[in-house]
Chain A
Amino acid sequence: MTVIAKVRGTTAPQHAKVVRRGGAPVWRAVRFALLLAFVVLFLIPVYVLLVTSFKPLTEADPSQAWNLPRTWTTEAWQVAWERLAPGVWNSVMLAVPGSLISAMLGSMNGYVLSKWRFAGADVVFTLLLFGMFIPYQGVMIPLVQLLVGLNEITGTQLFYGGIPGLTLAHIVYGIPICTLIFRNYYVTIPDELIEAARVDGAGMLRTYWSVIIPVSGPAFAVTVIWQFTSLWNDFLFAVFLTGPQSWPATVMLNNIAGAQTVPYSQQMAAAILASIPTVVIYILLGRFFMRGLMAGALKG
């Protein structure tokens, strides 16, 4: 009983150091082998992607999926880059500000809803979370009309048909998950720290700046990774809410289609190219991702 109670008591964000015995060498070897086997399984799709992307179009066929290229060529990569390039800057303009602003909003919301509460904060939190449930395809038509309306009100072309409108839509629909991440993370900060700051005369914003932000790193990492991936890889919102000049990379990727021979090698090369930024973000921030998860962000 006491063991379980003690387990529940572990809430402070800790960088739990992994000091464990590896266990018997045989067991360690077995574990390693199993993990390696899964690595092979996980990499099967990547193998097919890579191998096909270096084939000429005539060889890029499902029946040759497993074979290494008989002729190695980078023509697919060149074409893929040409087709994707117009959209890449748009994707950057969407994903970078979008994920950073989302993180900022999530952090402020999470802070208020966990530490600087007001009556009904829990209700507000639950209502915010509901935003995760919407099936987006179902609301595309009114969403388009809403953004067109915003265009009309402001007399600009920013909202419908432009990256700002797309970014806005993503930021708004990202509020629930970002708030969830930060709130669950901040809940683990001891209330005494907040009290101490208040006693020192700090108001809400000052406390935020001096107490909360310094320890928010891992949660920012988790949020930015999640939102960046979501924004970069989104297709549905992008195709409905923007026009050809503002199409992100995913729409350009989708447009690499063939009326007759499907250009598989180009599609696969483009798929890899389009995935590079998100993979890079994962590598850069991945360490913090684990730390953030361990500190309670994204779990119950």
Chain B
Amino acid sequence: MRRRWITAAAIGLAGMLALAACGGGGDSSGDGGQGGAARKRVEVFSWWTGPGEADGLKAMRQIFERQNPNYTFFDAAVAGGSGDQARALLASKLQANQPPDTFQGHAGAELQGYIKAGKLEPLDFLYDELKLREVFPEQLVEQITVDDHIYSVPVNIHRSNVLWYNPGVLKEAGVSGPPKTIEEFIGALEKVKQTGKIPLSIGSQWTQVHLLESVLLGTLGTERYNALWTASADWSSSDITKALENFKTIMSYAGTPQEDWQPAAKQVADGEAAFNVMGDWVYGYFVNPPDGGLGKTAKQDFDWAPAPGTDGTFMWLSDSFTLPKGAPNRDGAIAWLKVAASKEGQDAFNPLKGSIPARKDADKSLYKDYLAYSLEQWASNRLAGSIQHGVVANDAWRSAINDAVGLFLQDQDVAKLQQALVDAAKNSGQ
């Protein structure tokens, strides 16, 4: 008897909780449906949840809320795999016509899918109003223009082709300085190998694609590299074969693949490895004090140089914000984009994130050490876009390249890799 009443009570409780959840769920998201409240909230979708990036986002948020007292910033960030989870969630939202007010995406080809599906509004009006075409470097504007329209506002610039090295380990191996060409690099790797240290540290699969893009740039040169990014480009030529052979040789000196880019970079900072090719987010990781970073000293514990063979070219990637079609709070989104495009916003965000602003008129005094070097390089170098970080290859193409590299790591077959890259280009639809 008692058991039945317990069961009945349990089910009744469930029912009440369910109703309460309906009430709760309805209220909290019903907010968005009621006139006045909806206009206030601006849903900013990103994958910046970690310290550093989250701090940068917060700085921009403060500026935004100060300048727009009738709007509140709604943080919809989802962590995971440098945007992996976030992008999948975003795809489902866009397909169901439930876009956020604005979302983070890499400037460049990564946005192509959204543009083709008609999910993004062109931002030409904003560029005209704020005269952004004069403020952003010409090459950058060129590379983010699709069919004469621009669809995003770049907030920052990161560099991909950076060689991080440990001066102590190099000295011990008898290497005089950072190698300037790929041949020198291979020679240096061999010398380090003789000392028993790890010549080149490497992380998970995506870091190997990251390495490949520097090797491609270093072997082919800037012009040939930039010409690769249409469906009709020739990936079957012998210079590509040479680049892939270089890649294979370099990878043969790599240490045990680490979990991700941080443990791999750490091996260099700790003096276990000599070289690591990774983007310039490594700098913040190295110099920030614990617990956020490793607290290392530049030029002593570590140093940097352009990746071998790529001096004079800045391989860039950029986090940018977009305006989805049908954004619930379009005006709020545009207000956000204005902050993201502004000098104040970019100079608040970038020092905290560890990147340089996309604008040419940044306050140089805020950017020290590596960032100062990077600013100067950005102003003077030629530009080439990153593969892994969505600049030159659209999602499908990048995914195919990732698969090709992943499979190459299993069978070490350069011919197969090249063929896979040829197919990837052909099927890219770019």
In the complex, are the beta carbons of B21 and A167 less than 8 A apart?
yes
Most chain A CB within a 10 A radius of its CB, from B80, B89, B96, B259 = B96
Residues of B within 8 Å of A67, CB to CB, are none
Q: Complex Cα distance A97/B24, Å?
A: 14
- How distant is the Cα of A83 from the Cα of B285 in the complex, in angstroms? 22
Chain A nearest CB, measured from B12 CB (Å): 10
B22 at the binding interface (Cβ < 8 Å) = yes
Residue A209 CB within 8 A of the other chain? yes
Report how many A-B pairs have Cβ atoms within 8 Å: 146
| A68 CB–B CB distance under 8 Å | no
**Do residues A161 and B291 form an inter-chain contact, with CB atoms below 8 A?**
no
Give A61 to B248 CA distance when docked, in angstroms.
Answer: 31
Q: Which of B3, B263, B294 contacts A213 (CB 8 A)?
A: B3
A260 to B290, CA, bound (A): 10
Return chain A residues, CB-CB under 8 Å to B92: 140-141, 144, 240
List of B residues within 8 angstroms of A259 by Cβ: 48, 50-54, 281
**Which chain B residue shows the least CB distance to A165?**
B25
- From the candidates B11, B24, B290, name the one contacting A104 in the complex (CB within 8 A): B11
**What residue of chain A has the Cβ atom nearest to residue B21's Cβ?**
A93
Q: Does B28 contact A (CB under 8 A)?
A: yes
Shortest CB–CB separation between residue A163 and chain B, in angstroms? Answer: 5
Question: Are A260 and B50 closer than 8 Å at their CB atoms?
Answer: yes
Residues of A within 8 A of B4 (CB): 209, 213-214
Contact B24 A239 (CB under 8 A): no
Q: Bits for A180-217, please: 1 = Cβ < 8 Å to B, else 0.
A: 00000000000000000000000000000100011011
Q: In the complex, what's the smallest C-beta–C-beta distance from A89 to chain B, in angstroms? A: 9
Query: A58 near B: Cβ within 8 Å?
Result: yes
- Give A160 to B29 CA distance when docked, in angstroms: 10
B25 touches A260 (CB 8 A): no
CA distance A167 to B15 in the complex (A): 12
Number of residues on chain B facing chain A (CB within 8 A):
59
Given contacts A163-B21, A217-B3, contact A145 B96 (CB under 8 A): yes
A156 contacts B51, C-beta separation under 8 Å: no
Residue contact B29 to A246, C-beta cutoff 8 Å: yes
Query: CB-CB < 8 A to A217: which residues of B?
Result: 3
Quote the shortest CB–CB distance from A259 to chain B (angstroms): 3
Q: Flag if B28 contacts A246 (CB, 8 Å).
A: yes
**A93 near B20 (CB under 8 angstroms)?**
yes
Task: Say yes or no: is A232 at the interface (Cβ < 8 Å to chain B).
Answer: no
A261 on interface, CB distance cutoff 8 Å: yes
Which residues of A sit under 8 angstroms from B17, Cβ to Cβ?
Answer: 93, 96-97
B80 / chain A contacts, CB cutoff of 8 Å? 254, 257
Tell me if B65 counts as interface (CB < 8 A to partner A). Answer: no
Contact of A260 among B13, B14, B51, B77 (CB under 8 A): B51
B74 — which chain A residues lie within 8 A by C-beta?
244
Decide: B18 and A157 in contact? CB cutoff 8 A: no
Given contacts A93-B21, A254-B79, A260-B50, contact A162 B11 (CB under 8 A): no
Please pick, from B24, B33, B49, B262, the residue contacting A163 in the complex, using a CB distance under 8 A: B24
Q: A152-166 toward B: CB 8 Å interface, digit per residue (1/0)?
A: 000011101111110
Residues of B within 8 A of A131 (CB): none
Judged by a CB distance under 8 angstroms, whether A135 is at the interface is no
